[in-house]
C-alpha cells in the first residue's frame, strides 16, 4: 500500500491501533513511511509483552530501522494516532526521523508541545517537522471509547454485590 498523503498515513496508523484494541491494549498505532511505502508498523503491546517500552512508535522505529538497515530514518515520516510521550519523542529525535504526523493531542503526557516539547528542544542536534491534528477526531474517539469502557468495567467491579446471589 502506497501512502500518498497524511490522512492515508494516519488511517494506516488507525488500523494498527485497532490491533491494540483487539489485544486489550491502549489503542495507539503507528506506521513509518519511506518513499511512499510503509516500512515499519507498530501498535501498543505494553501489557502483552510486560514491557513499559513496547509503545507503538518504539516498535515501528525498530521495524523501520531493520527494513532500511540503518538507525537513521531521516527520509521517513512517522504517522501515529496519539501525540508521542517523552520516551517516544526522544526516540524519534534519536532515529533522526524527518517528519512526525500525529492525530490526537495528549494533554496528560504529550511531549510534542502539549505537556513537554522534547522534539522542539533547541539544544538537541536534530529537528523534526511536525504536523498535528490529522484525523484528530477519529483518533481521539477510539481512545475515548477505550477509556470509557475501562472506567465502566472498573465501576462494575467495585459495585456492591447482591448477597442473595
- Point out the residues that are catalytic: 57
> Is 85 labelled as part of a ligand binding site?
yes
Q: In what order do the strands lie in the sheet with 99-104?
A: 37-43, 29-34, 76-82, 99-104, 129-132
Has 88 been labeled as part of a binding site? yes
Binding residues for Zn(2+): 55, 85, 88
Binding-site residue numbers are 55, 85, 88
Amino acid at each position: 500500500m502506497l501512502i500518498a498523503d497524511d490522512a492515508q498515513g494516519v488511517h494506516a496508523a488507525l488500523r494498527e491501533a485497532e490491533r491494540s484494541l483487539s489485544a486489550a491494549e491502549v489503542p495507539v498505532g503507528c506506521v513509518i513511511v519511506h518513499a511512499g511505502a510503509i516500512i515499519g508498523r507498530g501498535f501498543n503491546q505494553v501489557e502483552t509483552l510486560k514491557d513499559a517500552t513496547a509503545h507503538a512508535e518504539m516498535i515501528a522505529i525498530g521495524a523501520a530501522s531493520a527494513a532500511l538497515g540503518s538507525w537513521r530514518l531521516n527520509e521517513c515520516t512517522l504517522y501515529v494516532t496519539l501525540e508521542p510521550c517523552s520516551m517516544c519523542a526522544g526516540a524519534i529525535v534519536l532515529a533522526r526521523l524527518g517528519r512526525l504526523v500525529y492525530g490526537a493531542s495528549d494533554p496528560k503526557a504529550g511531549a510534542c508541545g502539549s505537556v513537554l516539547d522534547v522534539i522542539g528542544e533547541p539544544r538537541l542536534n536534530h529537528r523534526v517537522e511536525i504536523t498535528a491534528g490529522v484525523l484528530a477526531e477519529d483518533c481521539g474517539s477510539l481512545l475515548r471509547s477505550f477509556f470509557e469502557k475501562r472506567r465502566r468495567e472498573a465501576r462494575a467491579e467495585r459495585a456492591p454485590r447482591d448477597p442473595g446471589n
